Amino acid sequence: MKKIFAIVAMMGMMTFGLTQNVMAQDEAAAPESEATEQVEEAAPAQEEAVAEEETPAIEAGETSLHQELKTKFIEGDAGFMSIVAVALIVGLAFCIERIIYLSLADVNVKKLMGALEAKLAAKDIEGAKKVCRDSRGPVASICYQGLMHMDEGLDVVERTVTSYGGVQAGYLERNCSWITLCIAMAPSLGFLGTVVGMVQAFDKIQQVGDISPTVVAGGMKVALITTLFGIIVALILQFFYNFVLSKIEAITSNMEDSSISLLDMITKAKLA
């Protein structure tokens, strides 16, 4: 508090000194200050007028962008566009579910294996099992299954770890097929809308009996908009899907390394 009061006092003294200097300058140059004040008074008024003119333009631009997106969605045939939107929502739901599951499955493997090594070095098999039970994720589950068959020999432990590792890998890849389905459906629906738009354009040409830009513009617009939205949805889902795959690969690599480390620890514990 004392430092704050000191800083405030210093600022007050500096402000007072500056005020005195400004007053002295104002007295020395009174005519010039009057002209300057008139210019300064006119400048804010002009700035406010310009701001008032620009603000409605900006707001109108934001409104027109939002309205344009809604208009394009409707113009692209609401039926196809709604299906593409559903594919996006469903795909994102599965992506988020996988990301949450994989984030919970990803643990500090080095810390877990270090605790297991300490327990096995001390011949505390039950303590090692407890460490695995108290830890989440596929690595801990695989290690627990290996410790459960430790007394049956290294061959049994290796087969158990390999088999259960395949089961855990299946859990990691669950629902990924639905994401790939949504990725494939989005552009396919867009291309289907393209075909429908072309058919509509040719129907109008047949009805009118003339090929002109005004006749085919509506059908071509539907074709292009549906294709555009389908490709955008596929790109968004593909980004999240690649992120999910990278997480699965990282966890699978940890599972393989942990399995090899567990076999080495069991071998050392039996030889000790």
Per-residue model confidence as pLDDT tens digits over 208-217? 776 666 666 6
pLDDT of residue 178: 92
Q: 224 or 78: which carries more pLDDT confidence?
A: 224
Least Cα distance to 270 among 146, 163, 131 occurs for 146
3-state DSSP assignment of residue 80: helix
- What's the distance, Cα to Cα, between the start and end of the chain in Å? 65
Q: What is the mean pLDDT of the chain?
A: 74
Which amino acid is present at 83?
I
Asked if 190 and 248 touch (Cβ cutoff 8 Å), the reply is no
With a cut of 50, say whether residue 41 has pLDDT above it. Answer: no
Residue 58: which residues within 8 A CB-CB, separation 6 or more? none
pLDDT of residue 193: 75
Give the residue carrying structure tokens 């969605």.
Answer: 73
Asked if 169 and 252 touch (Cβ cutoff 8 Å), the reply is yes
Of the listed ranges 12-21, 133-142, 164-173, 178-187, the one predicted with least confidence: 12-21
Kindly report the length of the chain.
272
Q: 182 or 268: which carries more pLDDT confidence?
A: 182
Which amino acid is present at 166?
G
Q: 244 or 65: which carries more pLDDT confidence?
A: 244
3-state DSSP assignment of residue 5: helix
Tokens of 259: 């399995």
Residues 210-247: pLDDT tens digits? 666 666 666 677 677 788 888 889 999 999 999 999 99
With a cut of 50, say whether residue 52 has pLDDT above it. Answer: no
pLDDT of residue 234: 92
pTM metric for this prediction: 0.67
Asked if 88 and 229 touch (Cβ cutoff 8 Å), the reply is no
pLDDT of residue 64: 67
Asked if 234 and 208 touch (Cβ cutoff 8 Å), the reply is no
Asked if 129 and 160 touch (Cβ cutoff 8 Å), the reply is no
3-state helix, strand, coil split of the chain in percent (to 5) is 90, 0, 10
